[in-house]
Structure 1
Amino acid sequence: MNPALKSLTRLRVGQSKGAPASNKPCLILALICEIQAGHVASSRIPIDTRLVTRYCELYEIATGERQKANPWLPLWHLSSDAGPNGRLWAPVFHDKLEKIAKQFGQPKSMSDIEHRFVAADLDSALFRAAQDKPLAFEAAAVVIGQYFGHSPAAQQALHDYLGLAFSSGEYEKNPERLEEGVHEASQLQARSAAFRSLVLEAYDYRCAASRLRYISPDYRYLVEAAHLVPFTESQDDHPTNGLALTPNLHWAMDNHLIAPGPDHKWHVSPTIDALVSDNRWLCELDGHPLALPRDSRWHPAQGALTWRLDHLQR
């Protein structure tokens, strides 16, 4: 077995209900997914929303108890494990905290983690292994077999998740492929997952209309990824054909009651009676600027915005 992968069989995990605790194994799987998706470019791993969300998703699949994921625990305790070249996981502490970090004790929240460090160094050999797709698959299989052997259902669900994550990651690394038409039904789920991931991250999980941003304690998002030109018509899952919207505004746009225009402003259908108080939440949106991603690569396509405005109910 590859030495980097062998180190994954020796994680120091506790026990939960008579089986290995899922925290550290799920964090390792999350790291493998993020590296394969191209969102981690070096062995210095940012502790960001993407990684923590991925971990919570995997923990929920493995245990069915997302609210107990407590991501701060594996992010802290993984540093006690050995990798092929030394420490498997080494937090990069903020200035002046390195010498006193151990005095803080166990963190009790993600806020505690962020006050201590926002990145950690993954063992370089393990990072290189996770970059190689066949080795990454093997590493995931080692982790799943070693720590989830007590539950065949969890093993299968995790393998299914990893398969989709790796396929979606290929699109995330090559978003231009999301503009191509779909030729195989097996592509749809991976494309959809990549579209959602890229759009929500581009908008920093903030609604492009209301500007609301909320991430729950177990890392679920208020916003959804909405197509500008419907996929059934465009076959286009590129993030420039999408916006992040709250569910109610996603519904309103899909029903052509509101539309973002090429002028980067929101427009409200004249069929909505502004004198009805229940309609105020929509009418007040008229003329408001469209919130745009910071990265201009992901700004909505002008043609897609024109399509939306052209299809506004008149």
Structure 2
Amino acid sequence: MQKDLNYYINRFTNLNVNTVGGKAPYQPLLLLSVIELIEQRLIQENKIYLSLELISTFAKFRSQLSTPYYQADLAQPFFFLSRAKNPFWYLQPKPGFENVLESGVKLNRLSLLRKNIDYAELDDELFDLLKSPINRAALIVAIASKCFSEKIEQVQSLFQIHSFQDIRYSLRESGATYSTNEMSEKEVKEFEDIVRDATFRRNVVSLYGQRCAFCKLRIISRDSGDIVDGAHIKPFSRFKDDSYTNGLALCKNHHWAFDHGWFSIDDDYRIIIPADRFIEEPPEESKRMQEFNREQIHLPDQSDFHPRSEALAWHRDHWHIA
């Protein structure tokens, strides 16, 4: 059979998708991540390493497109994609570990993969196809239509958000340095937590144009820093929901105020400020917080990323704001 674009469209749309606890399409998410890194020219040869860029890009797609019920790490699809019928994804063992793949051992943990596997590679025909923007777009649409039929526009929008570039600032802030060849399982988890936190913050802030949804303040430093946070509407610690529709871009003051129920937002995206929550004494020339009551918040240009009504309703109910 000729391995042309139609062949790989068929293969991509017949991948294994775990449905335990809700749809968990980790193999399609991995392929979307690889396509993005090829598009960014971060993968330029047919060798796909367990790099920080791949981990962070996979985390971005996973947080937005899969169920929060169970969030597998990159090791699961990286290994099991090589076990597919009529595979196009192959694992290349490190020197001296050639017998590991033949032994039948499941290398479905990052520590095992890093110890035994050097990199993965695609069919040469597929890698050549992915060099073309037209072919990449066709394969992205095929994956989105099959696995994320209700989120096709969101899948395409996520390709405009470059996760690893966005988390470098947070990695510098934390003082953390990581190399996938040396990371322990604990360090992998720590890195994924930093990726999750930083990706959510930077991407939500980016979607809002670095502007506070409440007061519309936008200040950017010369080194691209800003004073706006990515705020969860429903707290991540309780709901494990890092979808951007569970987020708002808020400056430090209004992030704190939102998290403490000093204001909420209605389904028409208008600010609700209870009259009895605080006393304010602003300078004469400053706008009082109460004056923002009933104003519409600043929103992302793309409606797919507007705050979910269900999340806003939870916040109003939790803080008893009518």
**TM-score under structure 1 length normalisation:** 0.52
- Aligned 8 A contact 2:74 2:110 in 1: yes
Aligned letter for 2:165? L
- Aligned counterpart, 1:220: 193
SS in 1 for 2:172: coil
Alignment of 1:199-210 (within 5 A): 200-201=167-168, 206-208=171-173
Alignment of 1:49-64 (within 5 A): 49-64=52-67
- Aligned counterpart, 1:92: 92
Identity %: 14
Query: Aligned to 1:22, which of 16, 22, 25?
Result: 25
Note the alpha carbon deviations across 1:100-138, whole angstroms, 9 max, x for none. 323262134211111111411112222222222222121
> Structure 2: how far apart are the matches of 1:197 and 1:56?
10
- Aligned counterpart, 1:136: 136
Deviation at 1:78, TM superposition (A): 0.7
Note the alpha carbon deviations across 1:82-105, whole angstroms, 9 max, x for none. 66xxx4111111111112323262
Say which structure is richer in helix: 1
Aligned letter for 1:206? L
Number of residues of Structure 1 aligned to a counterpart in Structure 2? 202
> Structure 2: how far apart are the matches of 1:93 and 1:139?
28
Note the alpha carbon deviations across 1:151-182, whole angstroms, 9 max, x for none. xxx434354133341xx3xxxxxxxxxxxxxx
Deviation at 1:15, TM superposition (A): 4.3
Aligned letter for 2:6? N
Query: Aligned to 1:157, which of 131, 148, 151?
Result: 151
- Aligned 8 A contact 1:82 1:88 in 2: no
Note the residue ranges of structure 1 that are not aligned, 5 or more in a row: 149-153, 169-192, 248-253, 256-314
Aligned letter for 1:9? T
- Aligned counterpart, 2:278: none
- Aligned counterpart, 1:5: 9
Query: Aligned to 1:41, which of 24, 41, 44?
Result: 44
> Structure 2: how far apart are the matches of 1:100 and 1:117?
9
> Structure 1: how far apart are the matches of 2:21 and 2:60?
22
> Structure 2: how far apart are the matches of 1:219 and 1:49?
9
Tell me which stretches of 4 or more aligned residues in structure 1 moved more than 6 Å: 233-236
> Structure 1: how far apart are the matches of 2:69 and 2:189?
11
Note the residue ranges of structure 2 that are not aligned, 5 or more in a row: 178-186, 212-217, 230-251, 254-322
> Structure 1: how far apart are the matches of 2:128 and 2:41?
12
- Aligned counterpart, 2:175: 211
- Aligned 8 A contact 2:17 2:26 in 1: no
RMSD (Å), alpha carbons: 3.8
Note the alpha carbon deviations across 1:295-314, whole angstroms, 9 max, x for none. xxxxxxxxxxxxxxxxxxxx
Deviation at 1:46, TM superposition (A): 1.5
Aligned letter for 1:219? E
> CA distance change for structure 1 residues 28 and 159 in 2, over 3 Å: closer, same or farther?
farther
> Structure 2: how far apart are the matches of 1:31 and 1:199?
18
> CA distance change for structure 1 residues 157 and 217 in 2, over 3 Å: closer, same or farther?
farther
- Aligned 8 A contact 2:37 2:54 in 1: yes
SS in 1 for 2:121: strand
> Structure 1: how far apart are the matches of 2:55 and 2:176?
20
Do residues 126 (structure 1) and 126 (structure 2) align?
yes
**TM-score under structure 2 length normalisation:** 0.51
Note the alpha carbon deviations across 1:51-93, whole angstroms, 9 max, x for none. 122223322323232752232111111112366xxx4111111
Aligned letter for 2:171? R
Deviation at 1:20, TM superposition (A): 6.5
> Structure 1: how far apart are the matches of 2:136 and 2:110?
27
SS in 2 for 1:44: coil
- Aligned 8 A contact 1:130 1:136 in 2: yes
> Structure 1: how far apart are the matches of 2:157 and 2:134?
12
- Aligned 8 A contact 2:82 2:89 in 1: yes
Deviation at 1:25, TM superposition (A): 1.4
SS in 2 for 1:92: strand
- Aligned 8 A contact 2:22 2:69 in 1: no
Do residues 70 (structure 1) and 70 (structure 2) align?
no
> CA distance change for structure 1 residues 2 and 14 in 2, over 3 Å: closer, same or farther?
closer
- Aligned 8 A contact 2:56 2:164 in 1: no
> CA distance change for structure 1 residues 159 and 111 in 2, over 3 Å: closer, same or farther?
farther
> Structure 1: how far apart are the matches of 2:133 and 2:139?
10
> Structure 2: how far apart are the matches of 1:243 and 1:50?
21
Deviation at 1:22, TM superposition (A): 0.9
> CA distance change for structure 1 residues 133 and 7 in 2, over 3 Å: closer, same or farther?
same
